[in-house]
Amino acid sequence: MSEHRDAAGRRRRLVDGRGRLRGDGGRHFDPVQVQTRGSLSWVLKNWLDDLEVRNYSASTVQSRREMGLQFVEYCLERDVERAAAVTRPLIERYQRFLFQQRNAQGKRLSVNYQIQRISCVQYLFRWAVRRGHVGANPAADIDRPRPVQRLPEHLTRSEVSAVMAVSDVTTGIGLRDRAILEVLYSTGLRRAECAALSVYDINADRGVVTVRQGKGKKDRVVPIGERARSWVAKYEKEYRESIAPLNETTLFLTDDGRPFQAYRLGNLVRRLLQAAGVVKPGACHLFRHTMATVLLEGGCDVRLVQEMLGHASLDTTALYTHVSVAHLTAAHKACHPAETGSDGPETGAEGASEA
């Protein structure tokens, strides 16, 4: 028993808090370098390599790497090292393990989090069967949790105004922050797309911004309003030029003149929201939800919103129609007999009191 615990302990120390294998001193290394053909780590590494060959985005490969290594760690702690030794009951226990986990606040992991990790295991073994690395797919008939579809949060107009007013635009950093917020509000870009913008991507004459290598490695062209363009131009002229290194073309730069990483841009926007007293979940995506909602409430066609947001499926965009309730309330007021008076003269409050 003690030998088993010692072995499990050594395996746990190979994995850091994000589920990545690490070597001495916490240095991350490629698991294939220490594993043999047919092992789980070897199959995982070859699957990830194949995703790169098939032109999957770097963010997709990285997320599947972390999710896959989390499953590898779970299996290693139970002395399952070879892919062919993974069974359906083991994957079902892994699914229960995910369900029973708690985050730092003591809450259950989100259903979407659980679905993503089970899906990753299914994709991995489906690929392994096609390549002949395992004889059968133990994850083929695993039932994933039912997804929870929540309506996206969005900002009210007063909240948008409050957030915009937070930045001190008499300073260079404040100008940059205001420009970032205006771009997010006007275009609905994802945080990674906003962080990757080049100074050449905004065409002021045409009033559009070109999003290069967006989600799914798809380019698209999105309208950008005059107000957002003016703030970007002011930021470029009064601040960016003074901090940008030679030959640096990234539009939004950190205080030390470096391009933003996506998570740092998200943290910045979250701080600005908190400073404005907005307590809703999300950061950059909150502006994305807001942009979609106000366009639909203004009468914009849902297919045009889908194109601007870069959604692969119209079903994803249609979710915002449930949030955009202005046209629904107007239709209800115009058509419901209790509102139009077609139910009769004594159906209102006055009639009820007289009765």
What stretch of H or E contains 316? helix 314-318
The CB-side HSE value for 2 (13 A sphere, CA atoms) comes to: 0
List 223's β-bridge partners, or say none: 208
Q: Which two three-digit tokens encode residue 310?
A: 């870069």
Residue 98 CA: distances (Å) to CA of 108, 118, 124: 9, 9, 18
Residue 236 has what DSSP assignment? Answer: I
Q: Which two three-digit tokens encode residue 2?
A: 């003690």
Name the active-site residue from 11, 154, 190, 229. Answer: 190
Name the active-site residue from 78, 258, 280, 285. Answer: 285
Q: Which two three-digit tokens encode residue 62?
A: 């990285």
289 classed as catalytic = no
**Under 8 Å between Cβ of 72 and 35:** no
Q: Which residue has the tokens 């615990």?
A: 5
285 classed as catalytic = yes
237 classed as catalytic = no
Name the active-site residue from 11, 133, 229, 288. Answer: 288
Q: Which two three-digit tokens encode residue 188?
A: 């609905």
56 classed as catalytic = no
190 classed as catalytic = yes
Q: Could you tell me where the DSSP H helices lie in 188-298? A: 191-195, 226-235, 241-243, 262-275, 284-297
Among the listed residues 332, 296, 298, the one whose alpha carbon sits nearest the alpha carbon of residue 314? 296
By DSSP bridging, strand 208-211 and strand 220-223 are antiparallel
Name the active-site residue from 215, 220, 258, 270. Answer: 215
Name the active-site residue from 185, 235, 239, 320. Answer: 320
Active-site positions read 190, 215, 285, 288, 311, 320
